A and B are shown apart, each in its own frame.
Chain A
Amino acid sequence: MLDINKKIDGTAMTVAVSGKLDSVTSADFEAAIKESIEPITDLTIDMDGLTYISSAGLRVLLSSQKIMNRQGSMKVVHVNDTVMEILDVTGFADILTIE
């Protein structure tokens, strides 16, 4: 349902997710971020291949953004149209840095 790929390079981390970010898979996504986030100052969420996001996924994005606001920066890349629509509707497009 959800593929997670994590790359850490010093204080930069990229977490790539493809598939569906829903109430079942978000826990894995959250764990993948949380276990490595402490020393990170540059966080990139790569959504290439992500077709679906529900509020459970948004919750992880929000909490990650809150952490990164304190210790560095976060950006979201490769957002597809359907997911973008959800981010727009919920105001997340304004909170997140989307490239």
Chain B
Amino acid sequence: MYNVTGKKTEDQVLIELSGRIDSNNSPEVEKKIDEILGGQTGLPVTVNAEGLEYISSAGLRVLLHLKKTNPSLTIKDVQPDVYEIFDMTGFTQMMTVEKAYKVISIEGCEEIGSGVNGSIYRIDSDNVVKVYKNANALDEIQHEREVAKIALILGIPTAISYDVVKVGDSYGSVFELLNASSFSNILATRPDRFDWCVNEYVRMLKRIHGTVVEEGKLPDMKQTVIKWVDFTGKYLPEEIGNKLRSMVEAVPQDMHMIHGDYHTKNLMLQGDEVLLIDMDTLAHGYPIFELASIYNAFIGFSEMDHEHVKRFQGFDFDTSCRFWKEFLRLYLGTDNEEVINSVANKARIVGYTRLIRMSIRRGGLDAPETLAEIENWKRELIELVETTDDLLFEKNEITVPAETDNWPKVLEFIESRMEAAECSPKVMMQVELAAEEIYVNIAHYAYAPGKGDATLRIETYGSPAEVTLTFMDKGTPFDPLKKDDPDVTLGASERDVGGLGIFMTKKVMDEVTYEYAEGHNILKMVKKT
């Protein structure tokens, strides 16, 4: 059984197809479509396929023919089974084929996350839906799916939507997310898990910021920030606006990934796995831009109205401030207040630039409360721009091609960090020795016979500082600690220098641990004071 109906107006043709279309009836279907068109070619044609149950290749040929005479052809509301036929035969590449969207309701569903562009609700124990604010969100959904896929392929754990649904007048994308709880929720209900949350939060961010994105795959955050500056600059004294712009323009091109909306509602704990959600703001760029949006989420938005963070994140302003401080300390790998404050101030510059623009665009100048907020942000911004020269900061890690020739570069980096942390010459020498032995090992063996990168992260906390070094490489999984210690009592003729480096490392450092995780050899060592 099948049915073809339709109507033609002056500027378009609507055709409704239903039932089963196969080789038995396709000649009749084609004839009926021709009747509806009445010989007219080139008009936009929309085929409503809501009632279409099946279409064989004979039926597809009819549509192909229709596409030839009327190139602007859209097939819409296609049921999932039928869509699969279109997809398998490559028709989705040749013409616009839109799926019929399942309609779901979020009434009474728990809101478990929210971001700039939408909110996430749990629809049952296994699934969540992200409902977009924008009514025409199909492009956004498509974009988010694509960037989430890019992130997943690059090793960032995230949920990818498997279906698009209609939610009231909006669209939503459906994800599988089992028994997951957001970090905001954990912070609000489990104060004892505060340290764990900050640690995992920093770990995930380091992972994002350590991921290099291919040119053209993601937007350049710097270009976005320049747009913010262009807007907000108009509300600032001219020389401040100019200085702000030149500081942003001087930020180096950076191909590392940035999440763009990295707050604790967008980090989920599913079982014992930490997952990122809300990927639509994914970009690449210099990490100060990320720190800016983090500052806004935890403090910036709530500077005047401390209850704001409670409403949005579920925890109080005090927790939020503590989180921001501890986050920055761990992210920068130092508790040097001067360093931390300097980076925080740079983040605030970009943060306020964005907040002012956002609020003004939402009509913030028209209400006394939001106007006061804008004035406050402006005051802070002007003062910070006046006293700041650039938006750069020193990362606590270095990545180099793992070759012995690059050792001096790595050494210079850790020496300068240890000097800044006022480590004693003896500690510096011992850390240097351990670092050299591990680095040389990676350079010789990790990628042999190929080549690859080595990353070294350094953290210095306390005074005199305890030093933690973390080496990471993506080479062959190898645990150097498993090797037996050499026999150091043997005479010269029986001795072999093999294994001595690791042995010395273990001797001079207080803790040395190895793990293979997320595709990396991770060797961590601590020198206590």
Contacts and interface: CB of A to CB of B under 8 A. Distances in A.
A96 B491 CA distance: 9
A91 B490 contact: yes
Given A24-B405, A52-B429, 13 more contacts: A1-B408, A23-B436, A23-B439, A52-B432, A54-B433, A54-B437, A54-B504, A56-B440, A90-B488, A90-B500, A91-B490, A91-B495, A94-B491
Contacts, number: 64
Interface of B: 404-405, 407-408, 426, 429, 432-433, 436-437, 439-440, 488-493, 495, 497, 500-501, 503-504, 507-508
Contact of A52 (B433, B489, B491, B507): B433
A23 B324 CA distance: 41
A54 to B, nearest CB: 5
Interface in A40-62: 51-52, 54-56, 58-59, 62
Nearest to B501: A55
B433 A69 contact: no
Given A69-B492, A89-B507, A54 B501 contact: yes
A94 B490 CA distance: 9
A95 to B, nearest CB: 5
A23 B497 contact: no
Interface residues of A, number: 23
A94 to B, nearest CB: 7
A23 to B, nearest CB: 5
Contact of B503 (A24, A59, A69, A90): A90
A91 B433 CA distance: 17
B497 A58 contact: yes
Contacts of B433: 52, 54, 86
Given A55-B504, A91-B488, A94-B489, A23 B407 contact: yes
Given A86-B433, A86-B504, A95 B491 contact: yes
Contacts of A58: 497, 500
A51 B492 CA distance: 23
23 contacts: A22-B436, A24-B408, A51-B429, A52-B429, A52-B432, A52-B433, A54-B433, A54-B504, A55-B437, A55-B500, A55-B501, A56-B436, A58-B497, A59-B497, A59-B500, A62-B497, A66-B492, A69-B492, A82-B429, A89-B488, A91-B495, A95-B492, A95-B495
A55 to B, nearest CB: 4
A94 B429 CA distance: 23
Contacts of B405: 24
Contacts of A94: 489, 491
A69 B437 contact: no
A66 B500 contact: no
Most buried by A among B404, B405, B436: B436
A43 B492 CA distance: 16
Interface string A1-26: 10000000000000000000011100
A90 B499 CA distance: 11
Contacts of A22: 407, 436
Nearest to B507: A89
Contacts of A65: 492
Contacts of A54: 433, 436-437, 440, 501, 504
| Top-10 shortest CB links A-B | A91-B488, A55-B501, A59-B497, A95-B492, A55-B500, A65-B492, A23-B440, A89-B507, A54-B436, A23-B404
Nearest to B404: A23
B404 A24 contact: yes
Contact of B426 (A55, A66, A82, A90): A82
A23 B497 CA distance: 13
A91 to B, nearest CB: 3
Given A24-B408, A58-B500, A90-B500, A66 B493 contact: yes
Interface in A61-91: 62, 65-66, 69, 82, 86, 89-91
Given A66-B493, A95-B492, A89 B436 contact: no
Contacts of A59: 497, 500
A86 B407 CA distance: 20
A27 B190 CA distance: 56
Contacts of B493: 66, 69
Most buried by B among A23, A52, A66, A86: A23
Given A69-B492, A86-B504, A24 B407 contact: yes
Nearest to B406: A24
A24 B405 CA distance: 7
Contacts of B436: 22-23, 54, 56
Nearest to B495: A62
B411 to A, nearest CB: 8
A59 B497 CA distance: 6
A1 B405 CA distance: 14
A89 B504 contact: yes
B484 to A, nearest CB: 15
A36 to B, nearest CB: 20
Nearest to A22: B436
A53 to B, nearest CB: 8
A38 B380 CA distance: 74
Contact of B489 (A69, A86, A91, A96): A91
Most buried by A among B426, B433, B489: B433
Contacts of B432: 52
Contacts of B439: 23
Nearest to B440: A23
A56 B498 CA distance: 10
Contacts of A69: 492-493
A62 to B, nearest CB: 6
A96 to B, nearest CB: 8
A22 B489 CA distance: 23
